[in-house]
Amino acid sequence: MVPTQNSVDLARRVPNGELVLYPDAGHGGIFQFHGQFVETALEFLER
């Protein structure tokens, strides 16, 4: 887990990368928002 600004910087550098920020999620974003995370991850991987 890294500061949000570092994630923004990394997303800019990764070709075809996509950054998704979940509100008030903290370190457990993929668990707190698991439904949205799985849907978004699958859509990205299908490209």
With a cut of 90, say whether residue 35 has pLDDT above it. Answer: yes
**Rounded (5°) CA angle 38-43-35:** 20
CB 29 within 8 A of CB 35: no
Q: Where are the domains of the chain?
A: 22-47
Q: How much is the pLDDT for 26?
A: 77
- Residue 27's pLDDT is 79
Give the residue-averaged pLDDT of 19-44.
90
